[in-house]
Copies of this chain bind each other. A is one copy, B any other.
């Protein structure tokens, strides 16, 4: 007989997914695809349980995503003995409570951004995990994108010289329509800040891994759409709007624009907007240094633009480097350069890092400490904008 049974000695890891929305889907596919993409994996996922407060979402989410069990009580999930890691993909206000419970139960915790509603809360989460000795990860899923991986490598190698300026944007128009309903994202006690925490947090994390700690900020936040209709149906992306009821006042920023000084003396600017009419999903970073510069637009996911001062005088110019097997984890996806990788696929890269960090007992790239450092900047920007002044961000000695 020539048909051979496959055997595998890869250990399992039990996953609890807390939440059933878009990120639940993205995380789950990430876990599921790691081994096919990379050819090997330190763990095979066992999709132990999915929790959602709404029974219908918990049941259908668990079924379509392939979980063994479902529950409407996340506490059951985070303490389940089959569970090794807890993924938190809920609205922001639940992050801290769930994470603290999971840490207390000795689980590794992988939480979506922003990590918490304040820097103080984020710090508490970070310290609890440290103390418990569990691994943590924040879903800053652009940090290990092949383009950003290569940008980090180039900057660290000194190829760009002394870094002078950083520009970053994450602007989209998902909420430009004044009749987008008032879901949790618009409510301060459930979401914290608005575009700042939801979108700006990604760019702050990129700024800090590329340039170093941000030391002070000044800026302006705006809520251009003052009121929104009450939501109907699910309390997320699929919500409808009840246009007949009184409108509710929006409680956080639609748009933030702030300048900053980095600890190393570089100058920076970040803009985040959820009402950037005409921009569907635009994320970009630019880093300029004395010896070179680079630009990356997330939508042009196959290309990193690089300029080097040392090029010959008649051949100076930005080069469009087509990302390929030599850049970050690109080669796990394609053996030749230039093929677009999807944003869901970036989660596979993140999950791979996650599983390796657990297996190798090391801190993953972008863990709760990074989430906390980002939260410090978020807090500073909020104060700076509210009080129209420059605000210093505490910088850790060890990060300099």
Contact = CB atoms under 8 A, between A and B. Distances in A.
Interface of A: 2-8, 22, 25, 28-29, 32-33, 35-40, 49, 59-60, 62-73, 76-77, 80, 150, 162, 164-165, 167, 172, 174, 176-178, 218-220, 222, 224, 237-238, 255, 257-261, 265, 267-269, 271, 273, 275-282, 288-293, 298-303, 306-307, 309, 311, 313-322, 324, 326-327, 333-345, 388-390
Contact of A322 (B8, B316, B334): B316
B326 A313 contact: yes
Contact of A340 (B269, B291, B299, B334): B299
Contacts of A315: 306, 319, 321
Contact of A59 (B6, B39, B314, B322): B6
A200 to B, nearest CB: 14
A231 to B, nearest CB: 15
A286 B255 CA distance: 15
A265 B3 CA distance: 52
Nearest to A5: B69
Contacts of A218: 218-220, 259, 388, 390
A327 B314 contact: yes
A261 to B, nearest CB: 6
Given A222-B267, A281-B337, 19 more contacts: A3-B80, A6-B69, A22-B334, A35-B65, A39-B60, A174-B336, A218-B218, A218-B388, A220-B267, A222-B265, A224-B290, A257-B267, A280-B337, A280-B338, A282-B338, A301-B340, A316-B322, A318-B320, A340-B341
A220 B218 CA distance: 9
A172 B7 CA distance: 39
What is the interface of chain A mostly: helix, strand, loop, or mixed?
Answer: mixed
A36 B29 contact: yes
Contacts of A269: 257, 259, 269, 271
Contact of A65 (B36, B281, B311): B36
A224 to B, nearest CB: 5
Contacts of A255: 164-165, 267
